[in-house]
Structure 1
Amino acid sequence: MMRSTHALRAAALAGAAALALAACASSSGTADDETTDSAAESSPLIVGTLLPQTGSLAFLGPPEIAGVDLAIEEINAAGGVLGADVTAEHTDSSDADHAEVATQSATELISKDVSVVIGAASSSVTLNVIDDITGANIVQISPANTATKLSGYSPFYFRTAPPDTVQGAALGNLITGDGHANVGFLVFNDDYGTSLRDVAQGTIEEAGATVTYGAKGAGQEFDPAASSFSTDITALVATKPDAVAVIAFEQTKQIIPELVAAGIPSSAIYLVDGNTADYSADFEAGTLEGAQGTIPGAFPSDEFQERLKGVDPSLTDFAYGPESYDATILAALAAVKGGATDGTTIQANMAAVSGADGGEECSTFADCVALLEDGSDITYKGQAGIGPFNADNDPSSAFIGVYKFGADNKNVWVKAVEGSVG
């Protein structure tokens, strides 16, 4: 199993140090006195989650929620944040087709005075609520958003998953590295889908290959709410691709059997994080054998999987569990460093605790707090293997996992590639 390795450092967010000092200011004394005074005045940290419990991405919810709950459990076991236990408020994000669910959940979280919101999983869902959340000076940290338009969207928005500039390049290189020269895309008309397609297409074309269907500007994206894909598949097959990348969510369960029936070999099918999942209960044996998929993030170690299962014993999929765990730990460390639990203080210290200012490496909340209390700068080295936040609040580097499907239609981790965020 792959474990986290060193990642590249990036420049700190402009003005972060000044904001941190302002957040910690008090009427008297030294920095230590200021931190003590702020801690005494702080309310307990409340972490809200906006993660999929229903809808087409509901399969991502359990590992993400478990990651948050595990982090809070370990934070509280280490003494909590500024002497008080952290609590969680869990809400449903659903998906982009049920936008009213996330809107209602965001309103609920804001009313409960959360300082941090972990989520959403879908970039489209985030774009629907980000202005409300960050506009209330609440830090929003997504463990799974990849749309490039979210880079630098707000000083209060961070993510522990890399943007599509990393996954898209990895997908394109995987396809062309396997020798494919004519690639078709079946992609839904969604910010997540088109963003990922655009980057993958650029990588494919730079390698000298051709996109035969579903290219940027061709107008061949399908409606996310579509109930039939036969027309799209017929049009794609007519362009004679030797590989097909399917960028979709729940629609994949309907698309894959039709693609295979239309003569596309399963070994020529490529999936992404939104649909690389266990299909053993959905397809006939062998339907996806040899297909490959990409999922951002370091593959969780056996030890970390067991810790997650200690929170949710039913877990079988761990996608974005590490990223959710790290998002929660980073927010808690930012509060400790700033000496207060409000969103403005946490925002001002997120980059610093991620290692953007350099500092001694630490991998647990307890160890990192001990260093902060000694006055040291820190670089939190978490479970996801990401680099420090860059000026756009994106990870400066990250891993992309490559998975392969067996005859049982289950995806198995094969390898990981590390990329830098441009």
Structure 2
Amino acid sequence: MTSFDVTRRAIVAVSLVTALAACSSPAPLATPTTMPSDAGSFSSATPAPSITPAGDGIMRIGTIFPTTGTFSFLAAAQKAGVAAAVKEINAAGRVNGEPVEVVAVDSGEAKKTTVESNFKTLVAKDVDVVIGPSSSVLAQRAIALAMDAKIPVISPAATLSSLDDVFDDGYFFRTIPAYDQQGYALAEALAGGSAAKKIAFVYIADEQGTALHDTFVSALAERDTELVADEVFTGSTTNFDAIVANLRKVEPDVVVVGSTYDSQKATRAAIEKITSAGFKSSALWLTSLNTGDYSQAFKNGTLKGVRGVIEGVQPSRSFIATLKETNPKLTSYRYAAEAYDATMLAVLAAIVAQDDAGEAIAGTLYDVSKGGVKCLNFAECLEVLKTTNDIDYDGVSGPVNFTPEGNVEPAFWGYYAYNGENKFVYTSGAIFG
């Protein structure tokens, strides 16, 4: 057991005992499950005569991360997450006696058609699942390609809330929570205590902001807390006098600013005006798409004590060490855990389905993510598969329970605080949703 399994094991201990008790005397499986044959090779049991696998017997994972362009800084960590998972899988037993293969391509930027052309490359190379893209815009474009090719796409980083509403025919999944789900984490942090607080939400009413607003309001209502101010601005707003005047009038205890990377100029103006009005330190919270490095934007100390929330788990030291074994130069780890879990789930789905074809994997991903006997790593899941094919993989990024829409709920959210240099630092985190 790797050391980064310890925390997850503590979380699921009660559920595991319950599940094992329920299957302590399992009935014989109608279809043979897969099981390890030795330390370096893993062979699937011969499928029942009624099952004819459509795959070619070799599990190929395609990755489509932004290795060029504005968001290329996100690729290395996700590639390392996939590589770490594949290394563990191949060491623990492989799939059908063959090592899992990785085919990597660039997703490019939204203004180009790189994602379309390189997705075709992945299809031509017979990949069975695609991990990526990192961009929500590109993920939305990849959905149609996935349906045509009958290959599931699992994004570790696409957070656009409306992706849940896009028709994907069961071929799109993500191991990162939707943007609006942070409303639960915010509500818990701001209204979860015994002291009642007056909260104001200052946000851009675009697709993301509106989705977050609705979830946030509902989550606050569950805690008998309401917004005392609901202020809207746009990506081109520079004058915040009216908004600040109303904030002073209602005197909220906390102001939450909701905006995205697409509105950096307006976001900085909003933060500057709101902090100047006296809403500083823990009286100001930022959301996941504007919690960033402001060390060059404001003078030192402007944001000291300001809080923020970001989706995704903060990797443990042991998991970081595991990632660095695949890429010693790695310095950023965002979305690595989510990419690792996406890879594990895809491979486990292929094993349970006894078929590495994309259509079989897509149809089994939901089942291996929840509801069965919990297992925390590949070797442990193989052990469980000796007695039942009903597994529930809990990953390094959290429970990774898929909804029927392919979203992950509940999910891990991290809380951050700004230091005197206006840089955000992780403080704690929890699972919400």
Q: Same fold (TM over 0.5)?
A: yes
By how many angstroms is 1:266 displaced? 4.5
1:256 maps to which of 268, 271, 281: 268
What's the RMSD between the two structures over aligned residues?
Answer: 3.6
AA aligned to 1:3 is T
Aligned to 1:183: 200
Alignment of 1:150 with 2:150, yes or no, is: no
1:62 maps to which of 76, 79, 83: 76
By how many angstroms is 1:44 displaced? 2.1
AA aligned to 2:406 is N
In 1, the alpha carbon distance for the partners of 2:149 and 2:424 equals 40
Alignment of 1:315 with 2:322, yes or no, is: no
Structure 2: state its 5+ residue gaps.
Answer: 17-29, 35-43
Aligned to 1:13: none
Larger radius of gyration: 2
* Helix, strand or coil at the partner of 1:369: helix
TM-score by length of 2: 0.76
Aligned to 1:125: 138
1:45 maps to which of 59, 68, 73: 59
Query: 2:199·2:226 contact (CA, 8 Å) conserved in 1?
Result: no
Q: C-alpha offsets along residues 127-153 of structure 1, whole Å, 9 cap, x if unaligned?
A: 222122233211111223333433374
Query: 1:99·1:125 contact (CA, 8 Å) conserved in 2?
Result: no
TM-score by length of 1: 0.78
In 2, the alpha carbon distance for the partners of 1:61 and 1:272 equals 22
1:141 maps to which of 154, 157, 164: 154
In 2, the alpha carbon distance for the partners of 1:300 and 1:45 equals 27
By how many angstroms is 1:327 displaced? 0.5
Q: Are residues 40 and 165 of structure 1, via their aligned partners in 2, closer, same or farther at CA, if it must alter by over 3 Å?
A: closer
In 2, the alpha carbon distance for the partners of 1:182 and 1:388 equals 31
Aligned to 1:15: none
In 1, the alpha carbon distance for the partners of 2:112 and 2:186 equals 29
Q: Are residues 353 and 202 of structure 1, via their aligned partners in 2, closer, same or farther at CA, if it must alter by over 3 Å?
A: closer
In 1, the alpha carbon distance for the partners of 2:280 and 2:15 equals 36
Query: 1:44·1:341 contact (CA, 8 Å) conserved in 2?
Result: yes
Q: Are residues 101 and 211 of structure 1, via their aligned partners in 2, closer, same or farther at CA, if it must alter by over 3 Å?
A: farther
By how many angstroms is 1:330 displaced? 0.6
Higher relative contact order (CA 8 A, sep 6+): 1
Aligned to 1:398: 411
* Helix, strand or coil at the partner of 2:425: strand
Query: 1:273·1:296 contact (CA, 8 Å) conserved in 2?
Result: yes
Alignment of 1:83 with 2:91, yes or no, is: no
Query: 2:256·2:287 contact (CA, 8 Å) conserved in 1?
Result: no
By how many angstroms is 1:176 displaced? 4.8
Aligned to 2:214: 198
Structure 1: state its 5+ residue gaps.
Answer: 10-19, 25-30, 215-219, 223-227
**How many correspondences in the alignment?**
387
By how many angstroms is 1:119 displaced? 1.9
In 1, the alpha carbon distance for the partners of 2:407 and 2:312 equals 13
Range that drifts further, 33-42 or 266-275: 33-42
Range that drifts further, 173-182 or 122-131: 173-182
Alignment of 1:73 with 2:87, yes or no, is: yes
Query: 2:300·2:420 contact (CA, 8 Å) conserved in 1?
Result: yes
* Helix, strand or coil at the partner of 1:295: strand
In 2, the alpha carbon distance for the partners of 1:43 and 1:275 equals 44
1:377 maps to which of 390, 394, 397: 390
By how many angstroms is 1:406 displaced? 1.4
Aligned to 1:344: 359
Query: 2:261·2:290 contact (CA, 8 Å) conserved in 1?
Result: yes
Residue identity (%): 31
* Helix, strand or coil at the partner of 1:412: strand
In 2, the alpha carbon distance for the partners of 1:377 and 1:320 equals 27
2:225 maps to which of 187, 207, 220: 207
Range that drifts further, 302-311 or 252-261: 252-261
In 2, the alpha carbon distance for the partners of 1:239 and 1:132 equals 48
Query: 2:175·2:400 contact (CA, 8 Å) conserved in 1?
Result: no
In 2, the alpha carbon distance for the partners of 1:75 and 1:197 equals 41
Q: Are residues 99 and 278 of structure 1, via their aligned partners in 2, closer, same or farther at CA, if it must alter by over 3 Å?
A: same
By how many angstroms is 1:245 displaced? 1.4
